[in-house]
Amino acid sequence: MPTVLSIKIKVLVVMVTVFNMSFAFAQQVTISGKVTASTCQVNNGKASISITLPQLSVSALSFVGATAGATPFEFSYANCTPGIVSVTPYFEPNSMTSPSGRVKQFPYILSPMKNVELQIKNSDGTIVDLSKSFGQQKVNSSGLVSNSGSQRFIAEYYATGVVQPGRFYAYLRYSLVYQ
């Protein structure tokens, strides 16, 4: 049976231990942003785009880093709010974005292709890094003339390993940044 003295010693040990713990100063995260009324009509009112990459042989993607099936797609902007001088798509990173900045294959399809990701490029061939934040993705901006403009991109298969044939499906989400 513990004595009163042994209980007091245990309480004292606990108190000394607790008071000797170091606590970090609480830091804060500051978030700011801006929402504007500025807009453009995108793709004649059809903001969603469907891209069908060509059917290829696995031999077209025979080594890691091989690309194939380059397919252009375009954003067209019209009726932009006066004062907007450029439009830049921001491809929003999500669970389908690989750490390497490409889009991973959607996992829940029947007979999926293996070891292939989707790579996006600007029309000049520079690679868009989808894992980065806005301004870091290397997306070219589209200048506007008479409140309209367009912007071309390229979608292509990218081999991440030994490619196994199958179906490919992926998706991107984007927002438009007006300046």
- What are the residue ranges spanned by the domains of the chain? 34-178
Predicted pLDDT of residue 179: 87
14 has a pLDDT exceeding 80: no
- Rounded to an integer, the average pLDDT of 144-154 is 92
- Rounded to an integer, the average pLDDT of 27-51 is 77
98 has a pLDDT exceeding 70: yes
**What is d(CA 73, CA 84) in angstroms, rounded to the nearest whole number?**
23
Higher pLDDT, 23 or 85: 85
Higher pLDDT, 102 or 176: 102
CATH code given to domain 34-178: 2.60.40.1090
**What is d(CA 140, CA 147) in angstroms, rounded to the nearest whole number?**
18
CB 141 within 8 A of CB 152: no
- Rounded to an integer, the average pLDDT of 74-98 is 91
Q: 3-state SS of the chain: helix, strand, coil percent to 5?
A: 15, 35, 55
44 has a pLDDT exceeding 90: no
**What is d(CA 43, CA 144) in angstroms, rounded to the nearest whole number?**
15
Confidence of residue 19 (pLDDT cuts 50, 70, 90): low
Q: What is the dihedral of CA 128, 83, 43, 73, to 10 degrees?
A: -20
**What is d(CA 113, CA 58) in angstroms, rounded to the nearest whole number?**
10
* Entry pTM: 0.77
- Which of 149, 137, 134, 140 lies closest to 85, judged by CA? 149
Predicted pLDDT of residue 73: 94
